[in-house]
Structure 1
Amino acid sequence: MLQRFGFYRLLFYECLCWLVFASVTGLNLTITPSRNVEVNQSVTLHCELDPNPPPPVVVIFSLQSPFTTLCVVEPWNGECKNTPDPCRNLYNASCPSDTRYSIQVKVPMDWNGASVVCETFFERSNSIIFSVNVPVSSVNLTQTTIVVSAGQMINLTCVTSYSNPAATISWHKSSEDITPQSTSETLTKGSLVRTISSLRSIVVKEDNGKQIYCRANNTMDASITSSMRTIIVLYKPEVSSSLSNPYRVIEGETATLLCTVTDANPNTNITWRWVKINSTNDVLHTGRTYTIPNIKRDRSGSYICRASNKVGTSEGAVIDIDVLCM
């Protein structure tokens, strides 16, 4: 039957090609329930011919790009005659009359934007173009480690799977929505779209330990969340002194000045510098505790301690020494 059909088709295409490729309103293709479908949703294609179609009546259902013949049917007393097995088993072909034909198809993801028609040797139907809703299935935050110094900018990227329609990406830093700090672009592959979002955000000390992630969705009721990344923010030390200020000491006694790091990241390999305000280039001591034995009155004044780590040096903690007469 297929060889006979091939002969007929070649003959009529050569002789009547202007009829074959013209769109004739007498051949009507409809779809139920809709051309807007989910992936692998079943739909029924109905092809209806004008009354008393000229013989031979052979109806072809086909996908147009790339051209693929889905099913070829011939009517015979309310049934499909000589119909190949794929038409019967895969597409459940039906030929209830000489003018009505139908097949059932499961619409795959790659049919988004594809068109189908039905045709005879003499005319072709209207096209039906599928719109396949392809949910976004993944969104990946490409960076695995985020280590940055306070005041610097992080540059992060999230990439979705291909979907239809295009997914939107939102950015979150713990409970804070930081989407306005991002920009997005799309890449097209066939009829599907991938969304790429880039985040540029300046971090501060308070961001240390927060979780950053992105979220993608292209449907009303579902979204996909990326893996979370912990922000590690490095910052210089902060120092203070618990001594009363001014620090009063009697001349001849020992003055003990103490500074403490209250916060730093990293809080290791800390170095210290003690200087006097009126002579800041002269380093008096390089430890956390500065001891001045047998202090004299000329040592009165303001002293500054500073701590440093690999990020930077702290602001100074000022201690005023008041040396009293005996």
Structure 2
Amino acid sequence: MSICITNLQKEDAGRFSLRIGVDDYRENVTLSVTNRSSPLVYIEKGGEGCISFPQAEIRTTDRDILREERVLCMQFSGSIEIGLMLKGAWNRSFSCQSNTSHVSVCITNASKEDEGIFTYTLLSVPIDNRTLIITSPKLIITPKSPATVKEGQSLALTCHSTDSGGIYMFFTLDNKGNRIIFGIGGGSFKACSNETQLAFIECSFGDPWLFNLTLLKPIHNQEVYCSRQVGQEGWNTSTIIQVQRLATLSVIPASDVILNQTISLECFYANGQPGAAFSYGKRFCMFEYSSCTGCQLFASLECPNNQTYRISLTVDSSWHKITMYCEPPSVQSNTIIINVTIPVSGLVLTPSQLTVNRGETITLTCQTDYCNPSAKITWFKATSDVTSQATPTEDKNQEDLVRTTSVLRFTGVIGDNGQQVYCIASNTQGRSVESNRYTIDVKYISDVKILPGSMLRVVTEQSNVWIYCYTENPEDHAKYSWTKINSNNSTVVTTGQLYVIQTATIEDGGTYTCTASNSVGNSSGSVDVTVQYTPLASVLVHVDCRSTEAYILWTSPFTNSIGNIHHTLQLSENKNLFVNASFEKMNITDDIEINTYKVTNLKPGSVYIFRVLTSNHYGIALSNNHSCVTDPERMEDTSKGCPTEQIIGGTLGGAVFTTILLIVAYALCKCRKERKNEDRNKETLGR
């Protein structure tokens, strides 16, 4: 029985009842009339939810939320919070909530009676509205999981909801998660459409709507979904297909096995069979129930009844990735692929001789045997992990086993000489193999050293100026050459370790590079030679002041040519004015480069600064300054004789200083003589 209305108005909304007799009301239906532009809000029957509105931009006036023209929540002027909730405006429990972005009316345990229009007003003027729809999302698919069907037969599935309406769809998912649609039905036009030849759909639009899907070729363990979409809301339910095979093969404990593990293959025939046949790879094995014999390759056979046939075997590497199944004459079971874990057992590092010149790059290769799964190779140099510098690759053989090859490019550096290189491979937890360890032999020529140093300053006309080079390792057996680099020109000046400039000129200045070479490479070092017109400065070594005299120890530069060099001792009683000093020469050796001067007629208790001025006809050079303080003048006691202690002390003090002066002068003299001898030896070598 139906009531039909044309030109529907909002006033037509209300509750309609079916009555049989005077007081027997059988069914109640609520009619809601909504504005088509009013957004729909769905809350599941028995669930909870909120009807929310965006906060009004204008907040300087009062705002309200109404249901069916009755105010539920109030916001006062200037506030975004709910200022008042009118409980009596709706005959059900509800709450008003707000935050910075939305204002809401929320309910729990929703029922069909809660449906209606909610309006958000500004000074009683509607600015937004929502229509609440209570849905019944209970979606039912039968048969439930597992949906059992015998092999070779079709399977019928039924889907419906306790609440009619919406669009229904049957589908499944492929291994990439994409939908494969079987059929679609429902909607405003009550359509019913097949989407594939694998199934067909039938639709019944009674109360409730029923949708029947028949799968022509059910797939074992396939999950089939039924979905229902109403507006923006949607629900899914599913069932998993269980195909009962006439013959079923199973592996005990599992198809993922370890090399040399013992497993059992069991074939079950639902209708019973007088015998069984196992197929594995390209091999075939049969045995009969009556005698339970055959398949001699296997460890044991069991035939507990004419439905179950069982064999046991020990897995070797040839079983990896083989396809197995069992069959009677007319029916084949499911197939199982055996996955055998084969630990890596061999690892080879090549080459075995790791000899490399410094700066040269060689390739090291570490390779496993064939295994499963693929092995990870880790490289070590001494105790350092250098795997990040290696490049791994993989290849497979006909049995689908994997071999890993890792290549490490190694550049010889001196610091790696004598280090060990090796690699480790592993493809199962707690188990690994290690390659042989080989020692790196880096061939190189050691660094070049320069004498007298990296910088040399000389003056013009200085004679026998020498520079000498050598390598740190006497086993280098190197050949040497000196090259002078000046501006953009370079000239080989000698082919030996020693180079001597007989008489220095300005043109001899520049950078001199010594290159040492042998069969494994080159090494070089440089010295900057500066030739100047002005003389080199002398050096004050020590100054000691007494009461009226001072002793000065100084050295002049080693030049081997001093004919035009002059030295003048100068002193100052202040920091600015220096005058030439009179002195007495006290040299204890004939070495003209070590000098000891005695200066007299000094003032007691005064500060003196000494220096040596070295000059030639090109200019002058000043030594370092050295200062001292003369002793205060002693006052003699006329009433007593001179104390013996002072006499002894003064005598001893002078003796001690003289001794120290002699020792220092002797040491400097000896050093100078050794240097001259070394110069003569190198000059002899150069000749």
Deviates more, 1:145-154 or 1:300-309: 300-309
Match of residue 261 from structure 1: 471
1:31 aligns with 2:251: yes
Q: How many residues align?
A: 287
Query: For residue 240 of structure 1, what is the amino acid of its counterpart?
Result: K
1:281 aligns with 2:494: no
1:73 and 1:261, CA in 2 relative to 1: closer, same or farther beyond 3 A?
same
Q: How does 1:49-128 map to 2 (within 5 A)?
A: 49-51=269-271, 53=272, 57-63=274-280, 65-69=281-285, 71-75=286-290, 81=291, 83-84=293-294, 86=296, 90-128=298-336
Give the Å deviation of 1:106: 0.8
Q: How does 1:32-47 map to 2 (within 5 A)?
A: 32-47=252-267
| Residue segments in structure 1 that go unaligned for 5+ positions in a row | 1-22, 76-80
Give the Å deviation of 1:172: 2.2
1:123 and 1:282, CA in 2 relative to 1: closer, same or farther beyond 3 A?
closer
Give the Å deviation of 1:187: 1.7
Query: For residue 131 of structure 1, what is the amino acid of its counterpart?
Result: N
Match of residue 401 from structure 2: 192
Match of residue 525 from structure 2: 316
| Residue segments in structure 2 that go unaligned for 5+ positions in a row | 1-242, 531-557, 563-687
1:103 and 1:85, CA in 2 relative to 1: closer, same or farther beyond 3 A?
closer
Please list the CA deviations of residues 214-257 of structure 1 after superposition, one character each: whole Å capped at 9, or x if unmatched. 222111211222222333333344111353654779x8876664
Query: For residue 181 of structure 1, what is the amino acid of its counterpart?
Result: Q
Give the Å deviation of 1:272: 1.3
Q: How does 1:77-226 map to 2 (within 5 A)?
A: 81=291, 83-84=293-294, 86=296, 90-189=298-397, 190-226=399-435
CA distance in 2, matches of 1:214, 1:144: 13
CA distance in 2, matches of 1:156, 1:164: 24
SS of 2:270's equivalent? coil
Give the Å deviation of 1:34: 1.4
Give the Å deviation of 1:262: 2.3
SS of 1:314's equivalent? strand
Larger Rg: 2
Asked whether the 8 Å contact 1:238–1:262 carries over to 2, the reply is: yes
CA distance in 2, matches of 1:210, 1:59: 63
Query: For residue 383 of structure 2, what is the amino acid of its counterpart?
Result: S
SS of 1:209's equivalent? coil
**TM-score, structure 2 length as denominator?**
0.38
Q: How does 1:296-311 map to 2 (within 5 A)?
A: 296-298=503-505, 301=509, 303-311=512-520
CA distance in 2, matches of 1:85, 1:26: 22
Asked whether the 8 Å contact 1:235–1:312 carries over to 2, the reply is: yes
Question: Percent same amino acid at aligned positions?
Answer: 33
1:201 and 1:175, CA in 2 relative to 1: closer, same or farther beyond 3 A?
same
SS of 1:274's equivalent? strand
In angstroms, what is the RMSD of aligned CA positions?
A: 3.2
CA distance in 2, matches of 1:282, 1:261: 19
Match of residue 480 from structure 2: 272
Query: For residue 283 of structure 2, what is the amino acid of its counterpart?
Result: F
CA distance in 1, matches of 2:338, 2:379: 32
SS of 1:323's equivalent? coil
SS of 1:315's equivalent? strand
Give the Å deviation of 1:176: 2.5
Which of structures 1 and 2 has the larger relative contact order (alpha carbons within 8 angstroms, sep 6+)?
1
CA distance in 2, matches of 1:30, 1:252: 102
